[in-house]
Amino acid sequence: MANSEGNKLWGGRFVGSTDPVMEKFNASIAYDQRMWEADLTGSKAYVKALLKASLVTQAEMEQILNGLNKVLEEWSKGEFKIKPGDEDIHTANERRLKELIGEAAGKLHTGRSRNDQVATDMRLWLRDGISSLKGLALQLIATMVERAAAEIEILCPGYTHMQRAQPIRWSHWILSHVTALSRDVERLEDIRKRVNVMPLGSGAIAGNPFDIDRELLRQELKFDSVSINSMDATGQRDFVAEFLFWGSMCLTHLSKMAEDLILYSTKEFSFITLSDAYRAVVFVCKSSTGSSLMPQKKNADSLELIRSKAGRVFGRCAGFLMTLKGLPSTYNKDLQVNQAKMEEALSPDMLATDLAYHLVRKGMPFRDAHGCAGKAVYIAESKNIRLSQLTVDDLQTISTLFDQDISSIWDYKKSVEQYSAPGGTAQNSITAQIQHFRTWLETQKLTP
């Protein structure tokens, strides 16, 4: 059975090649390649958890770690080559890892989904970004504070409604913007707490079935806590929206300050003079440009660009919220549950992943097992039968590791109970989540 999608992380179930237009439309590598370091960091931690769960050997772990370090070195030196078919950063890194170390690379993704992988990457990447932004904000605030101290004797008009109101110290104006920016720093620190929650080990939706030690992963990746619910962990992007809120507020403050400085630099005010290059005359690094027609002009272009970039950030925030609001939750009927109907909606094809896990437990690398499960789905569809109706003979045309014990996987309750890692959908994990929120409610002085 020809399968030209075999190199995809999801390719086993598909036959024929993807249309080039769809290939390009579907690819996110142009955007998410910036997360290359976060992706490799998460993978290095995950293979250590695979070792503890006895899903890779010590030798395989060392081989994978060495390969990941080589991939990291290529990215660091700007030598990593993105190839056609690298639809995202996860695909690109795993493809290169396999080129470097061979079949052992196929075990890295065992029990992991791109769903929890990308959520982890985004949190690691954003956490580093928050640290950088905090450092830059503090540097700006420190400069402004020192200018306020140095220019404390300067008096100027204070304005309300753009009319002269009362005399103030120039330092008072500077420190009014310092105060706003200090709140931005505090908000950024508060956001970091919610960014620094680890989703890795949540799988695609139900959790991780292989007894992965999420606490080990948390410590390796320096997260503050572990996500409480796997569906929420992989499906929500509140932390991204909250960061965009923060960016919008911070740019509002910078834009207001830029607008004041633009006005104060005009001939009508003549309160300040802008530098001719990047030498700061006030307290922010800014430059001036001239007019192509009028030789006397000295334009506050850098300040105008700060003001204009605020609009771009606001737009990104609004656009992202529109994306989020269009996503349905996992259940839409307001708290009305019909157990019989819900159980009727279960079907054997939903256990295709369990077919792959069955092979993994027999020693097959997950990446190969995923392909085998996809081929089983294809055969069932070709025969117009349910996945569970495939015979052992059918399955052995895919892999000889399939045998009579395959019948044990067609059990929905058993499937659910395998996701017993914290945050998963097994009964013990759900019970722990319920107790967690009962305790939380007590701290809020509410009753469930």
Residues taking part in catalysis: 161, 291
- Measured CA to CA, the distance from residue 396 to residue 439 in angstroms comes to 50
70, 101, 117, 306, 423 from 96: Cα distances, Å: 9, 9, 17, 40, 31
Residue by residue, DSSP assigns 308-337 as HHHHHHHHHHHHHHHHHHTS--S--STT--
- Measured CA to CA, the distance from residue 105 to residue 11 in angstroms comes to 16
Dihedral of the alpha carbons of 105, 108, 112, 118, in degrees to the nearest 10:
-70
8, 115, 321 from 236: Cα distances, Å: 25, 11, 12
Identity of the amino acid at 164? R
The CA R_g of the chain, rounded to the nearest whole Å, is: 28
3-state class (DSSP) for residue 23: helix
- Strand ranges (DSSP E) for 73-211? 155-160, 163-169, 197-198
How many Cα neighbours within 13 Å face the side chain of 360? 28
- Work out whether strand 163-169 and strand 155-160 pair parallel, antiparallel, or are unpaired: antiparallel
151, 167, 244, 245, 279 from 173: Cα distances, Å: 11, 11, 27, 25, 21
